[in-house]
Amino acid sequence: MIHLKISTLLSIVIISTLLATVTGITCSGAAGDSKIELQIGSSESVTKSIYFNKSISSCPSDVRKEDRTNTDFRTVEDTFKVNVVDDRVTVTRSDKASTWGMNLKFECCGYTDTEACQPPHRPCVPRAPFTPCTGEEGDEDIELEIGSSSSSEIVAKFSKPITRCPREVIKWTKTKADIFEVTVDKSKNVIVKQVQNSKSASNSCSKCLAQRNFNRWCETGDPFKSYCSNSFGRNGHTQCYGGKELWNCNKASKEPAWTIDLKFRCCGYKGTKRILENVKSPSNDCLLCISQRDRFKNQWCAIPGKKPYCYNFWGYDGHPSDCDMGKTLDECNSCMSKSSCKTCVGGVSISTA
């Protein structure tokens, strides 16, 4: 009876192993299309990008428990979405918006001598410029001003058609990078998609609480002085001093996707300008205005009966240095984020009759 149970268990193990093999990716075996194991590792954010020394042919679009080849956390049900663009593999946790602690590994197709770049969050070799512009009319070297954005993907419209742009734009913030995918659509608009941001659990409420390892968001009233706290000092975070501990994000969860003044070079017509109609910018949006407080110390200027705007005492970044007897505010609410706020001052509705 015991021998029968052992045989049954062995059969189950063998069948499970065969099923796991079947669910893996199939490669042709040709040069550049051999089965390889990629190590992604753990992540402090819901999305992580890794660069490799060779282009990756393909990866499974979905990685489930049976697809993972790492030996740790074998029983957890974490799943991931995988996107491959040349030498960059971007992994996003898909079962929930959270970080992960496992040393994530899975199989893909590529060159057998593929290795992660050092450091892995930037290309092994600096990107060569995209095909130079010819200099002819409509194909001249121009700089496009995209600016900051409250959304991770935007469609930027311009006064003249854009011919072509680099596929990838990388902007460094200290030791981390904001990575953008850039495409030009049929209407010659420029689509900018952020695939990796430089925020971390320390300065992003959503990433802080995604760790959920006894983390709390320490709300101090200033979005650039609020931080991730932990009463036990876990994850390298300190206790909350002089602030309010939050379990859920409020204002901080609405933080802009990126606050850098994004610019990059493309090919098009000289004199091309961004069409900014109904496009948010630090000048006309309270949230983006206040988001620059760490650099420019901006405030939002609310004036009864007039259009509010971004104010800076020193006139930095082209903002007016005069609030014209209005009320300067350090925080935003739903009323202030509107392009016009004639019936609202400081978040309090007033009669216009």
DSSP letter string over 150-210? Answer: SSSEEEE-BSS-EEE--SEEEEEETTEEEEEEEEE-TTS-EEEEEEE-S--TTT-HHHHHH
Is 0.75 topped by the overall pTM?
no
Distance CA 301, CA 322 (A): 9
| Backbone φ, ψ for residue 288 (5° rounding) | -70, -35
Is the confidence at residue 158, as pLDDT, over 90? Answer: yes
- Summarised one tens digit per residue, pLDDT across range 39-82 is 999 887 788 889 999 999 999 999 999 999 999 999 999 999 99
First to last CA, the chain: 90
Q: By mean pLDDT, which of 147-156, 313-322, 339-348 is the weakest?
A: 339-348
Task: Give dist(CA 275, CA 155) in Å, integer.
Answer: 11
The model's confidence at residue 256, banded by pLDDT at 50, 70 and 90, is: low
Handedness of CA 71, 73, 76, 78 (dihedral sign): negative
How far is residue 318's CA from residue 283's CA, in Å, rounded to a whole number?
A: 9
* Mean pLDDT of all residues in 247-257: 61
268 neighbors 289 (Cβ within 8 angstroms): no
- pLDDT tens per residue, range 259-309: 778 999 999 999 999 887 556 677 778 887 877 766 667 888 888 777 888
